[in-house]
Structures are given as C-alpha cells and as structure tokens.
Amino acid sequence: MARRIAAGAAYGGGSIGLLGVAAVGLVLAEVQLAKRTVGGGIAPVPPRGDGLYGLAFGRENPLLLGVLGDSTAAGQGVRRAGQTPGALLASGLAAVAERPVEVCNVALPGAQSDDLERQVTLLLADTSRMPDVCVIMIGANDVTHRMPPTESVRHLSAAVRRLRTAGAEVVVGTCPDLGTIEEVYQPLRFLARRVSRQLAAAQTIVVVEQGGRTVSLGDLLGPEFAANPREMFGVDNYHPSAEGYATASMAMLPTVCAVLGLWPESDRLDPDRDEGMLPVAKAAATAAKQAGTEVTGARAPWALLKHRRRRRLPAPHAVDETASPTEEEAEAQA
C-alpha cells in the first residue's frame, strides 16, 4: 500500500483510499465518541521556541535549525519554550556540535501537509542565511481530516526537495500512531493504527527518494507512551506532554546530528538490533511498525534501517541574543 501511495504521488495518480467503505460505516459511532473525549481539555497555545541555544559555546557562527510541520512540531501542549521539540533538539545539537544553534520554527498547529509549501517559503525567505538542517513533523492532521494520502506525500516530497535544493539536510518525523490515543476504542483504534502506519511508510519512501532521512514516530517514540499515556499526553489527551516531547526529541536527536556529520557513522549494521539494508519500501514498512527507527537512503533501491542509541538531552535554555549567559546557564549548556 505504501508503494502504491508513493507511486500515485510521483506519477499523478488519484486518491488511494486507506479504508474501505464498509470499514468507514463500522466506525462512525466510535468516531463521534472519540470527538467528544479527545481534545476535551484546553491545549495552551504553543510558546515561541525561536532563539539562540548553546551560548556556552559563544554566539558566532551558529547552526541554523528549521522546524516545520503541525502542532507537534510547534510544541502545542506545553507552556514553556524550552519544552518544545525545537528547543530540545537545539540544546542537544549544540552540546554535540559544541557550537550555538539558532532555531527558526515555522510550524503551525492544525497544519496539514499542503501547508508545507507556505512554511518552506517562509523559512527560505532570507536568502542570505539558509538552514543547515530542517526537522519536519507532519501527518496526523492529514489522517484526521481525510486528506488523500497521495496528495499528502506529494506535498511532503515537494517540501523536502525544495529544502534539499537549498542545501539543507532534512529529517522527517513520520506520521504518529493515532491508535495510541487513550480515548480511541476498538475497532477504530486498529484502523487508526493501520492508516497511520501506511501513511508513515509512504512518507518514508518519498523522503528517502528526495535525499532526506526519516525517524518513525510510531506511538510517539517508545513504549513510554503505551505504558504511561497519562504522563505522556497533555491536558487535551491528544498532544504530547513535556515528558512526551522530551522522549520524541531524544529519539530524533541522533539522526539530526548524523546528517550533519556529528554522530559516529558505522558501515557495520547490528543485526541484534534489527538493523540492515532492505529495499526502501520494505524498510519503510518495517520502520512504521517500530518507533524510533531511522531510514536513510543507500544505493537505489536500497535503504539502511538503523536503531540509534538514545542519549539524555541537556536542559534547554533559550537565551535572547543580546543577553549574556549566567554562570548556571553556561554550566548547564556545557
């Protein structure tokens, strides 16, 4: 199915439905139930995470990190800028690179993949400063708003192509597993999981084709969400909590560092960790089933499947560019 979606997007095919008509009729009642419970809380407006991180390493020659996507990329569900994915990734990247990192977050809560064109244009508006690496997190709203999957991945493919042409490395966090939402019951839970995984696999195929890398967000990255959903989801029971965003960012950080040549790369794959070289479609389908899995292109039509080891993120500290870091902030950044 992922291959069909990607092929339909590439060759201008029409919509490829992920659910049959009978299945849609079967879950109508549960959809209405989920609508009454999911989002019942009030998710705070995401704080602005833009700024300069890692000031312990100075202010000169910062890496530029662009963040694009939907509410998950924006950090909706938390109240502090330092708890957003962009801030967490910037702090971790600064610690690994030992240089400051500037964040430009153009993600929009509620965005679908067709908003990526606007976001990329906004990010690339300053032609004097192109981003070094971009992180995209998108797909959940495409599923919930029933955007045709071929259209969804076509927009994503175009966005990755534009960013790569501008010289930026690209890491995409694929569509999360909507079947992990606590208030979604069977059989809707099974169908939501199936749709999410199929879209995630198709996203991986088109991203790898454009020279980017993907990390499977799956059940929002790790068994922690399945084991502790009340801690990992925010007040609206839909968006991640601060702990959830930290878990997701920790899983994506190694890949963000790797695309910039800051993470050790080995040609030796570890079969004990289910790493290997597979046809890209098979690698995409495998990654969609296991959260935190990285897929990167090799020689066509092959792709590398990796499970990078997670490391604890340093405490994020967004600092105004005109301010001097305190002794405590400098120690934390170091």
How far apart (Å, rounded) are the C-alpha atoms in residues 98 and 120? 27
How far apart (Å, rounded) are the C-alpha atoms in residues 16 and 151? 9
Give me the residues paired with residue 66 across strands. Answer: 104, 134
Candidate list 70, 71, 177, 317, residue with the active-site label: 71
Whether residue 239 lies in the annotated active site: yes
Instruction: Reduce the DSSP state of residue 320 to 3 states and report it.
Output: coil
Output the pLDDT for position 53: 96
**Range name among 6-15, 171-180, 315-324 with the lowest pLDDT average:** 315-324
- Work out the average pLDDT over 56-71: 94
Instruction: Reduce the DSSP state of residue 187 to 3 states and report it.
Output: coil
**What is each CA distance from 34 to 118, 139, 179, 226, 236, in whole angstroms?**
31, 19, 12, 18, 12
> What is the average pLDDT value for the chain, to the nearest integer?
77
Output the pLDDT for position 111: 92
Whether residue 236 lies in the annotated active site: yes
Tokens 């659910």 belong to 19
The string of pLDDT tens digits covering residues 100-109 is 999 999 999 8
Please give the helix or strand (H or E) that residue 12 lies within, else none: none
Candidate list 152, 155, 177, 239, residue with the active-site label: 239
Amino acid sitting at position 74: A
Highest averaged pLDDT of the listed ranges 16-20, 47-51, 60-64, 219-223: 60-64
Report percent pLDDT > 90 for the chain: 38
Q: Decide: 306 and 258 in contact? Cβ < 8 Å.
A: no
**What is each CA distance from 322 to 129, 144, 205, 254, in whole angstroms?**
20, 42, 43, 30
Residue 126 neighbours by CB distance under 10 Å: 11
- Work out the average pLDDT over 8-12: 60
Q: What is the DSSP string of 107-150?
A: --TT--GGGHHHHHHHHT--TTS--SEEEEE--HHHHHTT--HH
Residue 308 pLDDT > 80, yes or no? no
The string of pLDDT tens digits covering residues 148-158 is 889 999 999 99
